[in-house]
Structure 1
Amino acid sequence: MTLTLDTYRQLGRSGLRVSPLALGTATFGNDWGWGAEQDEARRLFDLYVERGGNFIDTAVTYTDGTSERMLGEFARGRRDSLVLATKYSTLRTPHDPNSGGASRKSLFGAVETSLRQLGTDYIDLLYLHVWDPTTPVEEILRGLDDLVQQGKVLYVAISNAPAWQIARMQTVADLRGWSPLVALQLEYNLVERTGERDLIPMAQELGLGTVLWSPLAGGILTGKYSRQDLTAGAPSGTGESVRKDFNVALGGVTERSLTIVDTVKEIASELGRTPAQIGLAWALRQPVVTAPIIGARTSGQLQENLGALEVDLDASHLARLDEVSAIEPGFPHAMLASDHIRAQTRGDLKIQARR
């Protein structure tokens, strides 16, 4: 089944309609040593929007603010047709303790900074970027709701947080009548599937759309790593190698991940596609996924990523990918799914699952 960027999906339990692939803009600007300069970033933006894309992801501190500034400039004249998502809680000023974290002061300061950098008077979707255990959830939720009431933010969401804290926040928001969380952004891909244990079921149950960062596992699923990288020496730290060195240093390049990539490459060869397109196509076709975020430094890379919309993985392809990337469910999930517990709780009764 071929998808298009203008085959929109509902975001969680909101009425917001977003493209099935979001454009990530952490590559807008070369402030971090590996991004796209102004002209190339503009080409990335235009290519995505002209294909019907409307869902664009940034953060207040991406490329030290350059990402938001470029995005704001590119969006002029079509702002209302776009869904701009940004994030707060990362440190904006190195020596100011209140310029980061989830506090009300950090929240309001970050939103005002984002509005100024984006050149807009409202943010469509605002995420708490990284969980802050020092700030009470009531303070976070009340601050977010106040911004919605003021019209500066339309929808609120969360990223990189424990499932139990997100569930707690959604419950408090519902009980208090505050703006609910409508989306969860998490890392989820063929290499990293542990979100299936708690985060993704929680999101489904509580009405959060799932937006994926790093759907290509930091580039591992593009096939550019080999088993030589398992014993790689010290990072070179220059140019094209910066992100590759980063992934190797983080330990993402393992025998398991390379075995997964072997299967991805096999299927890519069978279908005449690239490994990156297969990795993205798998994510796109997971019923629990709203939108993976694709990032690119060049228009060629973006064209390749958008090609994933046209990849038709059949049941055998999906089964092979699921099998090679499967994770252990862990406790209590493995126990609850066991034949012993099923026999103890259901016996031989036939009970139809809830639809």
Structure 2
Amino acid sequence: MPLNHYVTLGRSGLRVSPLCLGAMTFGEDLGWGSSVEESQTIIDRFIDLGGNFIDTANFYTKSHSEKILGDHVGRHPARRDRLVLATKFSGNLYPGDPNGGGSGRKSILAACENSLRRLQTDYIDLYWLHNWDVHTPIDETMAALEDLVRAGKVRYIGVSDTPAWKIAQANVMAHFRGWSSFVGLQIEYSLLERSVEQELVPMALELGLGITPWSPLKSGALSGKYTRANAGTQKGDRGAFVQSALSEKTYAVVDALEIIAREQGTTVARVALAWVQSQPGVSSTIIGARRLSQLEDNVGALDVRLTAEQLARLDALTKPAFGFPQSMQPIFPAIHNGGTTVNGVFMEASPYGVVKGEKPY
């Protein structure tokens, strides 16, 4: 699949490339990341390859990431309408100001105006709620976002790092009030982070939100750079982010990825990305590249077709164990249908519960 094999973001009509360029590493303001020159080179190459979806946030590298993208758009104004520019609000850039961040109306409207200025554009294609603000009623947030859409400053809205029940509440409310609703869901999702499969992924599938996973390589832990053989000797570009993810579980996953990479004639990173791309509901996976070589390697994941056996192997290795009520799902068919076979065992339903292999008294 080429990068210009565009897909719709969930149930919306917004067409995006199957990989999204994440710009969190643009700028060296935090002591790591890409220089301005390298960032511009990465943007150019991503667009040349057919990518049209770029994601940033007002908070990334102290807002320098947005400025780098804005300078690029400013130099190439003809590209603006061909791109899907996404940014986020919620992050507070003004220490000491209680209204400098969060999801209240005052904060959202100010954040949007500042992002438009830094991005050198008069509209944002996809505006993300970066993370849930527990102190602001969700109807206030959705009403403010609807005003931005109606004013033409925002085309679509999405949500990131928020509980499934709160997202469902927001979208149902928006639906009945005739407001714009979230069309995209941005969540951490990788072979090492699958807890989202309990509530967030099913919610997205049910409501038609396009999933855009972030950190699909778990901050680089699944890039192939960190292996059991060199444990403790490799230093990560993002320090604590990578080190906290390196464990026996991670090395077991990397071992399996290395085997599959050899079978496929490709790289560990591409296999890990291909697994994420194959998951239900995933529209466009966010890839972060600090160097041009990383971008080239990651884009190659679109050419990897994992077999059913390889997918099953990886799935079994990291499949999460869910709690209630998902843990009850296997017995529900017997309760609902008056008796059926579950995992080869006949289950008979009764007012007293479910009895395996025999009828209740």
TM-score of the aligned structures, taking structure 2 as reference length: 0.90
Query: Does structure 1 conserve the Cα–Cα contact (< 8 Å) formed by 2:205 and 2:281?
Result: yes
Distance in 2, matches of 1:343 and 1:158, equals 37
Listed one character per residue, the Cα deviations across residues 73-132 of structure 1 (whole Å, up to 9, x for unaligned) are: 212321000000000001111221111111111101110110000000000000000111
Listed one character per residue, the Cα deviations across residues 25-45 of structure 1 (whole Å, up to 9, x for unaligned) are: 111111111111121111100
Distance in 2, matches of 1:316 and 1:15, equals 34
Distance in 1, matches of 2:261 and 2:239, equals 22
Of the three residues 305, 312, 326, the one matched with 2:298 is 305
Aligned to 1:135: 136
Aligned to 1:187: 188
Listed one character per residue, the Cα deviations across residues 266-301 of structure 1 (whole Å, up to 9, x for unaligned) are: 111222211101000111122321111001111111
SS in 2 for 1:217: coil
Aligned to 1:44: 42
More displaced stretch, 120-129 vs 68-77: 68-77
Aligned to 1:9: 7
Query: Does structure 1 conserve the Cα–Cα contact (< 8 Å) formed by 2:56 and 2:66?
Result: yes
Distance in 2, matches of 1:343 and 1:64, equals 55
Aligned to 2:68: 70
Distance in 1, matches of 2:241 and 2:309, equals 34
Between the two proteins, the alignment pairs up a number of residues equal to: 338
**Structure 2 matches for 1:233-272, cutoff 5 A?**
241-248=236-243, 251-272=244-265
Aligned to 2:81: 80
Residue 348 of structure 1: CA displacement? Answer: 4.3
Residue 330 of structure 1: CA displacement? Answer: 1.8
Cα RMSD, aligned residues only: 1.8
Listed one character per residue, the Cα deviations across residues 228-277 of structure 1 (whole Å, up to 9, x for unaligned) are: 898x69xx9xxx644133332xx322222221121111111222211101
Query: Does structure 2 conserve the Cα–Cα contact (< 8 Å) formed by 1:229 and 1:253?
Result: no
Amino acid paired to 1:162: P
Distance in 2, matches of 1:305 and 1:199, equals 25
Distance in 1, matches of 2:53 and 2:294, equals 18
Structure scoring higher RCO (CA < 8 A, sep ≥ 6) equals: 1
Identical pairs, percent: 49
Distance in 2, matches of 1:245 and 1:122, equals 36
Distance in 2, matches of 1:244 and 1:313, equals 31
| Change over 3 Å in CA distance of 1:229–1:328 after alignment to 2 | farther
Amino acid paired to 1:111: C
Aligned to 2:355: none
Query: Does structure 2 conserve the Cα–Cα contact (< 8 Å) formed by 1:26 and 1:58?
Result: yes
Of the three residues 290, 310, 320, the one matched with 2:283 is 290
Amino acid paired to 2:30: W
SS in 1 for 2:31: coil
| Change over 3 Å in CA distance of 1:228–1:275 after alignment to 2 | closer
More helix by share: 1
SS in 1 for 2:222: helix
Q: Does residue 144 of the first structure (1) align with residue 145 of the second (2)?
A: yes
Distance in 1, matches of 2:273 and 2:237, equals 23
SS in 2 for 1:345: helix
Distance in 1, matches of 2:240 and 2:11, equals 39
Gaps of 5+ in 2: 342-361
Q: Which protein shows a greater Rg?
A: 2
Distance in 1, matches of 2:337 and 2:230, equals 49
**Structure 2 matches for 1:119-130, cutoff 5 A?**
119-130=120-131
Aligned to 1:24: 22
SS in 1 for 2:238: helix
More displaced stretch, 219-228 vs 305-314: 219-228
Aligned to 2:327: 334
Aligned to 2:202: 201
Amino acid paired to 1:177: G
SS in 1 for 2:219: helix
Distance in 2, matches of 1:260 and 1:227, equals 10
Aligned to 1:315: 308
Distance in 1, matches of 2:88 and 2:194, equals 23
Query: Does structure 1 conserve the Cα–Cα contact (< 8 Å) formed by 2:21 and 2:288?
Result: yes
Query: Does structure 2 conserve the Cα–Cα contact (< 8 Å) formed by 1:158 and 1:183?
Result: yes
Aligned to 1:353: none
Listed one character per residue, the Cα deviations across residues 120-147 of structure 1 (whole Å, up to 9, x for unaligned) are: 0000000000111000011000000000
Distance in 2, matches of 1:118 and 1:99, equals 19
Distance in 1, matches of 2:134 and 2:205, equals 24
